Amino acid sequence: MKNLAVLSTIVLTAFCMSCQKNNLPKVQTISYEFVTMDSVLLIGEVTNDADATVTQRGFCWAKHTTPTVSDNNSENGMGSGVFFAKIGSLEIGQEYYFRSYAVNAGGLSYGETLTFKFEFPVVSGTFTDSRDNKIYKTVVIGKQTWMAENLGYLPSLWGSDPESSEFYTVPMFNYRDGSIADAKANPNYLTYGVLYNYKAAMTACPQGWHLPSKEEFDVLIRYVGPLGHKKMKSITNWTPYGNGDNTIGWNAFPAGDYTSESGFGGLGSSTGYWSSTFHNTEWFLLAWFMPLSLYDQPPYIIENRVYIGYSVRCIKDN
């Protein structure tokens, strides 16, 4: 009888363990989609709740091959069906492993493990401006094609009126005299291009390209994410300690700016790029532009006075 009782206990325990296992929810790790330069959308589905309400579901991810909820994790609702999670601030070049999970009264279960790696190859090319035969590097970022260097179209050195549409300057301190040929041979011109006021910027881009709108800059800023300033800035010429890694090939050099009150300033420490979006206020004529500086500040777009000289990056027509 004693042996029979022991055997019955073993059978009952195995049966209970089997019941508990069968009560676990079934969850599937479906796929992923890249959203920005450093974020991804994960997709999963609870396909069977095992007759017990799923009280928690989500994803876990890590740099090792077997992520669990003790690693990075998300909580994405409850119940059966498809669910999503957007995760960000991920490292370019790093391989990540992720899987879905679900919890019900029976316990915790995982879906299969999938992997992704952020590798955004820089798709580059060149473009020749037929007006002066200057060759520009170009780069594809998301669905946009940009010039990968500052515009250098220079039909005149200096307009008679700093606030006129003929205001073209070269970003060299106190540079006013000389010929266009001499200006174009200057190392600063070759590195930084030309500064334009808003009126000049509006007509500066060659045929097939245009000055980007505020909305087009917004698309770029969303795509590169909060660390976009690092990804967009050149790897040299920013001082001190302001260089970027130019991950996306936009290659923003610190060309500075120009105002009629202060002259040239910011060379090596800041830059700005005009948009085509104008804003007329009661007191000032303003337009939107995108600044970049030495500091670790996410890229953004803001307004400034239209007669300030900033750089121009043209974007290709659709």
3-state secondary structure 113-152: CEEEECCCCCEEEEEEECCCCEEEEEEEECCEEEECCCCC
How far is the C-alpha of 243 from the C-alpha of 210, rounded, in Å? Answer: 28
Give the position of tokens 């202060």: 262
Helix (H, G, I), strand (E, B) or coil at 215: helix
Same domain (yes/no): 257, 137: yes
Domain stops at, among 60, 92, 117: 117
| Mean pLDDT for the stretch of residues 43-57 | 96
Same domain (yes/no): 192, 79: no
Residues β-bridged to residue 305: 286
**CATH, residue 89:** 2.60.40.10
Average pLDDT in the chain: 85
Has residue 304 got a pLDDT over 90? yes
Has residue 5 got a pLDDT over 50? no
The range of the structural domain enclosing residue 309 comes to: 123-316
Is the previous residue joined to 67 through a cis bond, with omega within 30 degrees of 0? no
Kindly tell me the burial class for residue 3, based on how many C-beta atoms sit within 10 Å of its own C-beta (0-12, 13-18, 19 or more).
exposed
pLDDT of residue 86: 94
Same domain (yes/no): 241, 105: no
Long-range CB pairs of 239-242, under 8 A, 24+ apart, other chains included: 239/268, 239/269, 239/294, 240/294, 241/294, 242/269, 242/293, 242/294, 242/295
| Mean pLDDT for the stretch of residues 216-240 | 89
Has residue 16 got a pLDDT over 50? no
Domain stops at, among 117, 141, 161: 117
Of 115, 258, 262, nearest to 194 by C-alpha is 258
How far is the C-alpha of 68 from the C-alpha of 64, rounded, in Å? Answer: 10
Same domain (yes/no): 144, 231: yes
Helix H, strand E, coil C: the string for 264-306 is EECCCCEEEEEEEEEEECCCCEEEEEEEEECCCCCCCCEEEEC
Same domain (yes/no): 78, 190: no
The rounded percent of the chain whose pLDDT value lies above 70 is 85
**Segment of 28-32, 114-118, 244-248, 276-280 carrying the highest mean pLDDT:** 28-32
pLDDT of residue 158: 64
Has residue 1 got a pLDDT over 50? no
Residues sharing a CB contact under 8 Å with residue 3, sequence separation 6 or more, in sequence order: none
On whether residue 20 sits in a domain, the answer given is no
Same domain (yes/no): 147, 263: yes
On whether residue 208 sits in a domain, the answer given is yes
Has residue 11 got a pLDDT over 50? no
Count Cβ atoms below 10 Å from residue 105 Cβ, excluding itself.
15
What is the DSSP code string of 54-93?
--EEEEEEESSSS--TTSEE----SSSEEEEEEE--PPTT
Same domain (yes/no): 216, 307: yes
Q: Considering its fold, how many domains does the chain have in total?
A: 2
Q: Are 155 and 168 in contact, with CB atoms under 8 Å apart? A: yes
The larger pLDDT score, comparing residue 19 to residue 197, is at 197
| Mean pLDDT for the stretch of residues 271-284 | 87
On whether residue 15 sits in a domain, the answer given is no
pLDDT of residue 134: 95
Q: Are 253 and 171 in contact, with CB atoms under 8 Å apart? A: no
Rg of the chain's alpha carbons, rounded to an integer?
29
Same domain (yes/no): 190, 307: yes
Same domain (yes/no): 179, 161: yes
The rounded percent of the chain whose pLDDT value lies above 90 is 57
What are the b/e assignments for 13-37, b being 16+ CB within 10 Å? eeeeeeeeeebbbebbbbebeeebb
pLDDT of residue 295: 85
On whether residue 35 sits in a domain, the answer given is yes
